[in-house]
Amino acid sequence: MANYAELTTESFNKKTENIDKMSAIEIARIINEEDKKVAYAVEAALPKIAEAIDIMANSLKAGGHIYYCGAGTSGRLGVLDASECLPTYGVSEDTIVGLMAGGKEATYSSREYAEDDFDSIVSQMKASHFGIRDVLVAISASGSANCVKGAIKYARECGAYTVCVSCNPNSDLIEMVDIAIIAEVGPEVINGSTRMKAGTAQKMILNMLSTGAMIRFGRVRGNYMAYMVPNNAKLVDRALRMICQKTGCDRNTAALELAKANNCIADAMDAIEGK
């Protein structure tokens, strides 16, 4: 068994040892003070994040896919980030895939035991035909989850690039992957509750990875979501405003060209600009 007591994410937070005696505003204030540390921890990891962005973008350009994997909060954050790429960037459902230890059911209800299962994620990777052109992003706050270790081992056997996102400077995953992204956020307000600062850091990093990769993959025009899927009233309005702002046309022209382009904002922009 790993020596979990040595993990930063399991360490004791002296500042919050009396939190159970605090008022509501004191609790909110101390959580906020601890959360302020997260952005600085992520900032220290920016060079590694940038490396991962380029590897992910190159994989997509070569016809590969991005796989996030993890257990508990880490896995759910991966599933969340993956699921939001389709509507935001107009990519297919299998472009960025979120795999959860314990399967899809673990996204909605606790399957914490699956974290210890070395093959829990591997079986899902095999079922979705993970291969050499793909990239695995293994997410584990502690860096000790057996499920992601198994996934990394399998990805390397396939010849694929591997990335980890962890919050422990002594993470087991560092030596296992091509790129190790480590955001050391320190002990949690509630000791060991990595859904807090560690989860916030992981969410920020995954936002950077997917957004950066999609930008480098060409799914953004300027800072416009030019491949967004406009499938409700708010998004249709946003699409029309984007076209008008980018091309200088009026709203009626934007609506006409968007319809002609089968709701592809980028194609409507190009048609108006004569590209």
**Dist CA 69 CA 73 (whole Å):** 11
Tell me if residue 115 is catalytic.
Answer: yes
pLDDT at 1 over 90: no
Confidence at 2, pLDDT banded by 50, 70, 90: low
Which DSSP helix (H) or strand (E) runs through 13? Answer: none
Residue 255 belongs to domain spanning: 233-273
CATH of the domain at 85: 3.40.50.10490
Q: Give tens-digit pLDDT for 15-43.
A: 999 999 999 999 999 999 999 999 999 99
Report percent pLDDT > 70 for the chain: 99
Domain count within the chain: 2
- Tell me the average pLDDT across 189-202: 95
Alpha-helical segments (H) within the chain: 24-44, 46-61, 72-89, 105-108, 120-127, 146-157, 197-216, 233-247, 251-260, 265-273
**pLDDT tens-place string over residues 76-126:** 999 999 999 999 999 999 999 999 998 888 788 777 777 788 889 999 999
- In this structure, the answer to whether residues 30 and 142 fall within a common structural domain is yes
* Average of per-residue pLDDT across 176-183: 98
One of 10, 43, 51, 84 is an active-site residue; which one?
84
Whether 34 sits among the annotated catalytic residues: the reply is: no
> Is 3 inside a domain boundary?
no
Instruction: Check whether residue 14 and residue 91 sit in a common domain.
Output: yes
Question: Which residue among 115, 184, 188, 257 is the active-site one?
Answer: 115
Question: Do 80 and 201 sit in the same domain of this protein?
Answer: yes
Is residue 232 predicted with pLDDT exceeding 80? Answer: yes
Query: Is 69:97 a contact under the CB 8 Å cutoff?
Result: no
Domain identity same for 121 and 255: no
The answer to whether 59 and 218 are in contact (CB under 8 A) is no
